[in-house]
């Protein structure tokens, strides 16, 4: 048994949870698969506020933190300990799907839960310091092609993570072998942005909304490209896409929820219908945009199809980059 598997098994055993007998929208719980703060917490808090303010639930939603394995502990716990808990939803992200593709969730894969709703998305971005000589993504790629050892990339994730994938895909799109790129892994995006402004790294491959929020807070950075098929809206409408600059790189960072595999069709439908109604309201749009997320609203079968497609794509990418993968059942 690998160290990761032992960690998951021990954490699941220690986190044995009792399934609730309550209905789907009674005494609701949102499980954030991480410590307080960060994207999973943001995802839960967004829905907690929206459901309460929209009067979709009578009692405030409880947020439970279940860190471990970047989502692996929560995934295993829900499947093994509370597979039919109708009132518990669990946050996931694009990073969760990437980890599933690489077998980082132990013996379970993308077919072992019920994918419920995608409530918003962010996109990858290429960021440099405000005083950087690189004024465009083409400048970065020209420097990397000339000598990849002279351009130091960095972000909040190790080899195989979302942020590493963004760097590797960008390098590959520019004709640079990802194996030759210099990449520094940090604990999180904030630490990487500090290193960027201090000149310790030259390029940050992070998230567009995160970079924009840091920029508004005073960070001396410049966003060179967003990884979407079209320009983003609002304050980021003036930032070109990677494709516009000649590099076909897209990286959506979906945020959403799943429920246990044995949640009944009736309870699943209650949740899916609730999310569909919720995300159609102007009040929800406001709450979502305040948290730096861009529109993406999928529920039920369309989300299930999206997740399966994304995981299959990540599995293929992982194979291409020589990373570990786990085949679908």
Give the pLDDT confidence of 31-79 residue by residue, as tens digits: 999 888 778 888 999 999 999 999 999 999 999 999 888 789 999 999 9
CB 325 within 8 A of CB 103: yes
For position 167, what pLDDT does the model report?
93
Distance, CA of 136 to CA of 240 (rounded, Å) = 9
CATH 3.40.190.10 occupies which residues in the chain? 123-245
- The single-letter DSSP state of residue 58 is S
Residues of the chain with CATH 3.40.190.150: 3-121+252-320
Q: Which residues of the chain have a pLDDT value below 70?
A: 1-22, 324-329
Domain 3-121+252-320 class in CATH: alpha beta
Residue 22: predicted pLDDT: 52
Q: Coil, helix or strand for 319? A: helix
pTM: 0.82
pLDDT of residue 113: 98
Structural tokens at position 247: 């590099």
Spell out the long-range contacts of 168-174 with Cβ–Cβ below 8 A and sequence spacing 24 or more: 168/321, 169/249, 169/251, 169/317, 170/126, 170/137, 170/141, 170/205, 170/242, 170/247, 170/249, 171/144, 173/242, 173/247, 173/248, 173/249, 174/140, 174/141, 174/144, 174/145, 174/247
Mean pLDDT of the chain: 89
Annotation: CATH topology of 123-245? D-Maltodextrin-Binding Protein; domain 2 (3.40.190)
Segment (H or E) for 14: helix 3-14
* 117 strand-pairing partners: 257, 299
pLDDT of 124 reads 95
243 in Cβ contact with 258 (< 8 Å):
no
């Amino acid at each position: 048994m690998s160290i990761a598997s032992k960690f998951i098994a021990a954490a699941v055993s220690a986190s044995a949870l009792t399934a609730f007998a309550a209905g789907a929208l009674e005494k609701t719980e949102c499980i954030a698969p991480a410590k307080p703060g960060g994207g999973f917490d943001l995802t839960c808090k967004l829905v907690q506020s929206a459901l309460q303010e929209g009067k979709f639930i009578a009692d405030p939603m409880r947020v439970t933190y279940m860190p471990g394995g970047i989502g692996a502990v929560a995934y295993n716990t829900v499947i093994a300990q509370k597979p039919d808990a109708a009132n518990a939803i669990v946050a996931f992200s694009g990073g969760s799907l990437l980890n599933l593709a690489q077998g980082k969730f132990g013996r379970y894969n993308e077919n072992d839960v019920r994918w419920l709703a995608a409530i918003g998305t962010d996109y990858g971005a290429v960021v440099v310091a405000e005083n950087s000589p690189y004024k465009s993504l083409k400048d970065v790629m020209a420097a990397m092609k000339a000598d990849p050892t002279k351009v130091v990339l960095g972000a909040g994730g190790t080899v195989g993570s979302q942020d590493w994938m963004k760097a590797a895909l960008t390098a590959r799109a520019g004709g640079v072998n990802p194996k030759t790129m210099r990449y520094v892994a940090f604990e999180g995006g904030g630490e990487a942005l500090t290193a960027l402004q201090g000149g310790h790294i030259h390029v940050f491959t992070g998230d567009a909304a995160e970079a924009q929020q840091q920029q508004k807070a005073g960070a001396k950075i410049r966003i060179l490209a967003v990884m979407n098929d079209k320009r983003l809206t609002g304050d980021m409408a003036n930032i070109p896409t990677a494709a516009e600059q000649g590099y076909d790189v897209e990286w959506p960072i979906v945020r959403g929820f799943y429920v246990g595999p044995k949640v009944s069709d009736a309870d699943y439908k209650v949740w899916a219908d609730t999310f569909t109604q919720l995300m159609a309201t102007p009040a929800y749009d406001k709450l979502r945009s305040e948290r730096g997320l861009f529109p993406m609203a999928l529920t039920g079968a369309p989300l299930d199809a999206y997740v399966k497609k994304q995981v299959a794509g990540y599995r293929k990418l992982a194979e291409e980059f020589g990373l570990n993968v786990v085949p679908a059942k």
